[in-house]
Every structure is written in C-alpha cells, then in structure tokens.
Chains A and B, each alone.
Chain A
Amino acid sequence: DGGITQSPKYLFRKEGQNVTLSCEQNLNHDAMYWYRQDPGQGLRLIYYSQIVNDFQKGDIAEGYSVSREKKESFPLTVTSAQKNPTAFYLCASSISGTHYEQYFGPGTRLTVT
C-alpha cells in the first residue's frame, strides 16, 4: 500500500532537548511538507521541499530544521530554540506541480515538558 508514515505517534521530551520526527513516503512524490496544528488553529507550514537536497522555509520555520537527502524521507528536527514545541505535527507530500493535492500522514503528537 502506498502512503505516508510518521513515527512515533506520540513523543514526549524534556524542555531543552532536540527531537527528530520521522516522515517517509512511498508514493514517489517529489514534494514534501511539514505542518504544525494547534487547537483552534488551522495547519501552519513549517518547511517544504520540492526536490531532493532542496527545501524552503514556510511561515513558522524558526526553531525547526529539516533535511531532504532522499526522495522518500523528510525528517523534521524540533530544536530547543522553538519556544512552544508542544503540538500535532503533520507531514504531507504531493506530485510536483500539484501542490493543491497534498496527502497527509497520520501525524506525531509532541509533548514537551
């Protein structure tokens, strides 16, 4: 089955620690995205990548970093510089040029205390 996997489903960290969220897709999509979802708010774009070895900042990139070394993988690191890291993180992918047709993974709920 083709799809997007995110792991783990739930993640707990202490304040001051960096944490990396995994996102893998086997849809052969060129473009991948990271969003953050907070209660009562829509999804906000953190980073996106249209092609391997290239990525751009979204609206709320501060305190986050990404890499895109392989087409199928787009990990997100939440650094200690992110002031409010507790949130639901969603990864998505799309065929290049069809940004309007994004497919989402199941999400990772990160709690930082």
Chain B
Amino acid sequence: QKEVEQDPGPLSVPEGAIVSLNCTYSNSAFQYFMWYRQYSRKGPELLMYTYSSGNKEDGRFTAQVDKSSKYISLFIRDSQPSDSATYLCAMSALYNQGGKLIFGQGTELSVKP
C-alpha cells in the first residue's frame, strides 16, 4: 500500500464548477500537507500548505485536512480553464523526523470553457 493515494483522474469539469481533489494517507506522523499545481512539461508550483488539521483558504482555493480520517482535500471555486493542470498532494512529518515530502500520483484536471 502506498503511503499517499490520489485518484489520477482525469477529471473534466465545466468552467465555473466547484472542483474537489482528494488524497488519503496511511502515515499518522504526517503533519504538513501541501498542494502543488503542475502544468504540462513544467515544474510543480506550490499552491498552499497546511500544518496539522483544519482549513486554509487562499482566493478560490481551500485546503482541508482531516487527520482523524487521514484525508485531505483541495477545493477550487469558480474553476477557470487556466486551472487545467495536474494537482499533486504532498505530505511530510516534522523536520526532525526526516521531513522528506511524499507525493501522491497527481490528479489531472481539465476545465472546459
């Protein structure tokens, strides 16, 4: 079983839709939860990170972490064609416990005009 599981999609939605992207994990030591966006043939771009449980909002993006269920989500409101990309979740334990990032496989999102 992989430490981090992410539905690879592809996911196709109409412009303006609310998008929900999800990851599950098995390692209860994970404390940091990140979402990256990767356009085709480009390097990943950090969207946001969350420490421990709770919600974090940045513009049209909201990250949620439910540590009791080992489940994280990224919501995109009013999705735009420019949001079409692969979204990667990543997680890590505290820095002094190794701190390396473990990535999900990525979900490919397509937002149709």
Contact = CB atoms under 8 A, between A and B. Distances in A.
Contacts, number: 60
Given A42-B106, A97-B95, A105-B43, A58 B100 contact: yes
Given A90-B44, A99-B99, A101-B49, A42 B92 contact: no
A100 B103 contact: no
Contacts of A6: 43
Chain A: interface size category: 20 to 34
A40 B6 CA distance: 11
A78 B103 CA distance: 22
A103 interface: yes
A92 B51 CA distance: 20
A43 B8 contact: no
B63 interface: no
9 contacts: A42-B88, A42-B104, A43-B88, A92-B43, A99-B32, A99-B101, A100-B92, A102-B101, A107-B42
